[in-house]
A and B are shown apart, each in its own frame.
Chain A
């Protein structure tokens, strides 16, 4: 009886969301997997041809796909490091005793409010026009030139914009973590004579480990899926050097109308990313301290 009741409670709590989630995400995803075995342009009235694993075989020799996947991994690695360091630094500053902390918190958070598209255009102006004229007026042309025309710097520009946008977002989560640390703990550390760095490394960091897991995961998933900023800032250029993965799929599906092939790409990439991040989550989870 008790056990049955528990099952009922379990279902009552879990089922509604699982149901909605299944119809919105899981079923479409499964249907999408099905389509990856077809050659099809995505239009209902047009012909679907079943081609088995051909789309997946084609992937392995698709140079553009492979470089794009590589570039996305590179981008993600640098972006998550930059975003998390900056986000955590911001969070530590705005939870300190600084008087301007409340104003600063809102200011730092504002970039995330602006949608990717306009933001990309504004940054495009900064990296091309502002940088060029800075270079001309200061003579430091080694740093200030049109970054978006250089394949390496264009990628760095993309990392900078992504960091700028997401650091404030990640900051919010770190703030929650830091404020969850009981004051007695840090006070006790101070009384024991621990310095700023010691408190930070030995006390604060282990206690905000759960936030760290969450932030790392969120940045990984957001960076891997980056699209808007990519489109508006570089549109993949110059010469495909910043074509991130989501853009590659999008072009395949909507510009080239290779719907089935685009789905195959998406699924392969999803599997790879899922494995990487699940390993990451399980590693950082182990480091969490149970209070």
Chain B
């Protein structure tokens, strides 16, 4: 008798279970359809009702990739709550897997309200998730070409500008002499003779090859077309002057300096701070690495002198985006938070002083830039800047997956500059497929 009861209970469980299991497939497709129609109507209503009659949400979530500013951002969020009553929750992650986390969370509708991406191939891939920010009040004040636009609409608000190039020790290097590839190579030899490491890259993917390879691309008259032609096999790096000089620099680096594969970011900046390296290929973000050292010299930034280049690469590394899949109230609240950050006194103070950002609005000035950011601002004012085709035009993921292995081979074998360029060209062809 007891058994019979047990059996019926079990059969019941089984029935429910099988319903769940078999119901899964068909329901899921329905569900997807529901979602599709839902998003369709959502975007429909959005375009129909432009006027901001929407009540904004009382809580939003911010998720962003710059781990260095997390504490400061949380402090800003606390002040925002005190001022407006709206709660801003800041999610944390490691710098390495931010993009993967973001994608997973956007995918199952657990996405944050406001998030960050690198404008270019990253924001293109997620274009469907980016809300139109054209109606944010300060959009008109963003410096030219810095906002991320998609189909004529502003979707991304820039964090800051960052610049990278040769960061050098003014006591050891005379920048006015660094006008050609030869001069640079001679400098490396002289420094080596003096027992100093003339120039240093480091083993992390962008610091090893990504940033430095950006320069010859940026020096092309039309970097976008050049990348497309490169992928299509119409041009080759070996046949392009700036790249040939780039390879000469890399050969000189391999010959006269410490192997970058044995140097990590901590050591690269440590060697520079203690005067063991005369220059490093870095950006203004590296200044934070020096704060535990007593740096006893002045540092400056200059361009990598390929084909006489004097410019450093300056661009927007990251933009804020608002999640188009969030509710309208949340989208509104997200926009309001950005408004506050870029237009209120408190918000601006956080941007410039706490985050240490270089202002991107024409209406903002910063008086608290660190020495390297000052160099970026100075060179920008002098017009000595080139762009970042690496973010804008290179195929997504190419640096880590395709370029790093080639650079590692270059620095561990005696492959020639020409072979190096051929291998890099090949990497672009493969990655662009």
Q: Interface on A for B, CB 8 Å cutoff?
A: 1, 4-5, 7-8, 11-12, 15, 19, 22-23, 27, 41-46, 128, 132, 146, 148-151, 235-240, 251, 254-257
Residues of B within 8 A of A12 (CB): 6, 10
A238-B396 contact in complex given A45-B128, A254-B100, C-beta closer than 8 Å: no
- Considering the chains assembled together, what is the distance between the CA atoms of A277 and B125 in angstroms? 39
Are A255 and B400 in touch, CB under 8 angstroms?
Answer: yes
Residue of A nearest to B423 (CB): A239
Residue of B nearest to A63 (CB): B430
Q: How far is the CB of A65 from chain B (nearest CB, A)?
A: 12
Using A146-B262, A149-B261 as known contacts, list a sample of 7 further A-B pairs with CB atoms less than 8 Å apart, ordered by residue number in A: A11-B10, A15-B13, A23-B20, A151-B412, A236-B405, A257-B125, A257-B396
- What are 25 residue pairs bridging A and B, where the CB atoms are less than 8 Å apart in the complex? A4-B7, A5-B3, A7-B7, A11-B14, A12-B6, A15-B17, A19-B17, A42-B103, A44-B35, A44-B107, A45-B39, A45-B325, A149-B259, A149-B261, A235-B404, A236-B404, A239-B406, A240-B405, A251-B397, A251-B400, A251-B401, A255-B400, A256-B401, A257-B125, A257-B396
Within 8 A of A (CB), among B67-113: 99-100, 103, 106-107
Within 8 A of A (CB), among B392-418: 396-397, 400-401, 404-406, 408-409, 412
Are A8 and B128 in touch, CB under 8 angstroms?
Answer: no
Q: Which of B14, B20, B409 contacts A238 (CB 8 A)?
A: B409
A43-B106 contact in complex given A149-B259, A256-B397, C-beta closer than 8 Å: yes
Residues of A within 8 A of B262 (CB): 128, 132, 146, 149
Interface assignment of B221: CB less than 8 Å from any CB of chain A: no
Interface assignment of B21: CB less than 8 Å from any CB of chain A: yes
Are A149 and B412 in touch, CB under 8 angstroms?
Answer: yes
Q: Which of B7, B126, B129, B396 contacts A5 (CB 8 A)?
A: B7
Residue of A nearest to B3 (CB): A5
Are A238 and B401 in touch, CB under 8 angstroms?
Answer: no
A43-B126 contact in complex given A8-B10, A15-B14, A239-B409, C-beta closer than 8 Å: yes
Residues of A within 8 A of B431 (CB): 256
Q: How far is the CB of B5 from chain A (nearest CB, A)?
A: 10
- Considering the chains assembled together, what is the distance between the CA atoms of A238 and B415 in angstroms? 14
- Considering the chains assembled together, what is the distance between the CA atoms of A279 and B3 in angstroms? 40
Are B17 and A237 in touch, CB under 8 angstroms?
Answer: no
Residues of A within 8 A of B10 (CB): 8, 11-12, 15
Q: Give the total of B residues in contact with A, Cβ under 8 Å.
A: 36
Residues of A within 8 A of B107 (CB): 42-44
Q: Which of A42, A44, A238 contacts B412 (CB 8 A)?
A: A238
Residues of A within 8 A of B381 (CB): none
Q: Which of B3, B17, B325 contacts A4 (CB 8 A)?
A: B3
- Considering the chains assembled together, what is the distance between the CA atoms of A42 and B17 in angstroms? 29
- Considering the chains assembled together, what is the distance between the CA atoms of A23 and B17 in angstroms? 10
Within 8 A of A (CB), among B1-45: 3, 6-7, 10, 13-14, 17, 20-21, 24, 35, 39
A256-B404 contact in complex given A12-B10, A45-B129, C-beta closer than 8 Å: no
Residue of B nearest to A146 (CB): B262
- Considering the chains assembled together, what is the distance between the CA atoms of A12 and B409 in angstroms? 59
Residues of B within 8 A of A254 (CB): 99-100, 103
Residue of B nearest to A11 (CB): B10
Q: Which of B14, B21, B405 contacts A22 (CB 8 A)?
A: B21
Give me the 5 closest cross-chain CB pairs, A-B, nearest first.
A255-B397, A45-B128, A239-B409, A238-B408, A5-B3
Residues of A within 8 A of B100 (CB): 254
Are B412 and A43 in touch, CB under 8 angstroms?
Answer: no
Residues of B within 8 A of A240 (CB): 405
Within 8 A of A (CB), among B251-269: 259, 261-262
Q: Which of A11, A45, A150, A255 contacts B401 (CB 8 A)?
A: A255
Q: Which of A1, A132, A237, A257 contacts B3 (CB 8 A)?
A: A1
Q: How far is the CB of A190 from chain B (nearest CB, A)?
A: 52
Are B396 and A256 in touch, CB under 8 angstroms?
Answer: yes
Q: How far is the CB of A159 from chain B (nearest CB, A)?
A: 20
Residue of A nearest to B264 (CB): A124
Residue of B nearest to A26 (CB): B21
- Considering the chains assembled together, what is the distance between the CA atoms of A15 and B15 in angstroms? 12
Residues of B within 8 A of A238 (CB): 261, 405, 408-409, 412
Residues of A within 8 A of B99 (CB): 254
- Considering the chains assembled together, what is the distance between the CA atoms of A132 and B267 in angstroms? 15
- Considering the chains assembled together, what is the distance between the CA atoms of A1 and B1 in angstroms? 10
- Considering the chains assembled together, what is the distance between the CA atoms of A98 and B409 in angstroms? 49
Within 8 A of A (CB), among B92-147: 99-100, 103, 106-107, 125-126, 128-129
Within 8 A of A (CB), among B354-406: 396-397, 400-401, 404-406
- Considering the chains assembled together, what is the distance between the CA atoms of A23 and B431 in angstroms? 36
Q: Which of A15, A239, A256 contacts B405 (CB 8 A)?
A: A239
Residues of A within 8 A of B24 (CB): 27
Are A46 and B7 in touch, CB under 8 angstroms?
Answer: no
Are A239 and B6 in touch, CB under 8 angstroms?
Answer: no
Q: How far is the CB of B198 from chain A (nearest CB, A)?
A: 20
Q: How far is the CB of A212 from chain B (nearest CB, A)?
A: 36
Residue of A nearest to B121 (CB): A257
Q: How far is the CB of A40 from chain B (nearest CB, A)?
A: 12
Residues of B within 8 A of A236 (CB): 404-405
Are A43 and B128 in touch, CB under 8 angstroms?
Answer: yes
Residue of B nearest to A234 (CB): B408
- Considering the chains assembled together, what is the distance between the CA atoms of A11 and B11 in angstroms? 9
Residues of A within 8 A of B401 (CB): 251, 255-256
Residues of A within 8 A of B20 (CB): 23
Q: How far is the CB of B396 from chain A (nearest CB, A)?
A: 6
Residues of B within 8 A of A22 (CB): 21
